[in-house]
Amino acid sequence: MIGFLLVDKPSGWTSHDAVAKVRRVLGEKRVGHAGTLDPMCTGLLLMAVGHATRFMRYLRLEPKEYVGEMTLGVETTTHDSEGEPVETRDASSVTIESLRSHAARLAGRISQTPPMFSAVKVGGQRLYKLARKGEEVERPAREVDVFAFDILGLHDGRASFRVSCSGGTYVRSLVHDLGRLAGCGAHLSSLRRISLGGFHVGEACAPDEVSADRLLPLDGALDLPAVRLAQGQATSAKHGQKFSLNVHEGAERIALLDEQGRFFAVARRERNEWLPECVLPIEVLSG
């Protein structure tokens, strides 16, 4: 069983819970996922099943797009609704125009410090484990891209929003920073991931709807130029041998199809030749 699977993760589930469910339903131990979602977050979780796991590095997973809601006037320990309140302020004078102005300042290439309640490792330890002990340590900031941060509405101290960003961006930190800029504080109330690169949550299934029929074929999901090889070249490529092919000028990688049009590998350009760098096992290809 090989392919990619789009799952709409429910609130309260960890990403690992969703993986475990897929393993049980499909009877396949090799299941991985791309782009972890916190338990409170819902939405698109992309999974690889079987030998598709080795091709996950070729997936286009940016931009990541989310919709959500923030609560103004309350900051929490985790920057979201699962944390304890640490400060409360009056947010009644905040307007949607001011929120939009401040959100615009957080768009573009920004430096973001991971929150203490995160899975990032510092000194070999997960930050959230240190945070639970009441410890706070220096965290190296990292550059992320916020392609869009749009405030969609404001009602009764809650603002709805849409974010499009690069991988590694903490949306709850964006919300926290926006609250600071607005002078009232804020925390993330809800979050839903609606897209990853070219994948959309509208194409995803609920965990209870998972089946082999939902698997996406590798060549269609990888978003790479596809080349169909003659039998001799395909046989050589399946054994990892370089080959010459004058196709797709400017492309660094291509998907390889055999003489019957079946996907079997990804090859990278090496000067005037192509080298198969990730190939399905022979037993799979002959099965």
In the residue annotation, 38 being an active-site residue is answered as yes
CA atoms of 50 and 106, how far apart (whole Å): 40
Catalytically annotated residue among 8, 38, 80, 258: 38
Catalytic residue positions, numbered:
38
